[in-house]
Amino acid sequence: MDLEKRALAADLLHEFCWRADSGAGTGIAELFTDDATVATPHFRLAGREQIDAWFSERAKPGERTVRHLLSNLRFDEREDGTMEVTAYSMVTILLPTGEAARVAVGTSTDELVFEGGRALFARRQLDIAFEGRLPVDGGAA
């Protein structure tokens, strides 16, 4: 296993989470290849343009507080130089209404390519094991 590629892959996943959680959705698309896809049970995106539009819309201030957590990353380097990364993931979304936070727990599977000394998403897929609501005190922070 190429440890440099593994580090680049982990950095990419963490950067995606950071940007999504910090309201930097307008910069998320640059983490993907031009023809990348994102698939979840709730939405599907194809191409960097759709990815940019979807995440930029969710980056508006005051719309929501989101936190992505990843654990148990598993790296599978392929013969063609790409890599599949599988991780357990949990996403919580708190809306400014103060209602119970939405929570989804599942497995993310990412296909990565390496270009110019960095990793990029070619495909992201989220399979949800379970989802529900989490009562919270107060509202969005």
Q: pLDDT higher for 140 or 41? A: 41
Question: What is the three-class DSSP state of 141?
Answer: coil
Nearest to 95, CA basis, from 141, 53, 51: 141
Token digits of residue 104:
């989804």
Contact assessment for residue 85 and residue 75, using Cβ atoms and an 8 Å cutoff: yes
Using alpha carbons, list the distances in angstroms from residue 107 to 92, 102, 103: 14, 17, 13
Per cent of the chain over pLDDT 70 is: 96
**Residue 141, pLDDT above cutoff 60:** no
Contacts (Cβ under 8 Å, ≥6 apart) of 94:
64, 65, 66, 101, 102, 136, 139, 140, 141
List, in order of start, the domains of the chain with CATH numbers. Answer: 3-134 (3.10.450.50)
Point out the least confidently predicted range of 13-22, 56-65, 115-124.
Answer: 56-65
Q: Which one has a higher pLDDT value, 22 or 31?
A: 31
Q: Is the pTM of this model over 0.95?
A: no
Task: Dig out the tokens for 124 from the structure.
Answer: 């992201």
pLDDT grade, residue 33 (50/70/90)? very high
Going by pLDDT thresholds of 50, 70 and 90, the confidence category of residue 134 is confident
pLDDT digits (tens, 9 = 90+) for 57-101: 877 767 788 899 999 999 999 999 999 999 999 999 888 887 888
Please give the pLDDT value at position 114: 97
CA angle 130, 132, 135 (to 5 degrees): 140
Q: Is the pLDDT of residue 16 over 50?
A: yes
Bridge pairing between strands 44-46 and 65-77 = unpaired
Q: 3-state DSSP call for residue 90? A: strand
Residue 52 reports pLDDT greater than 90 = yes
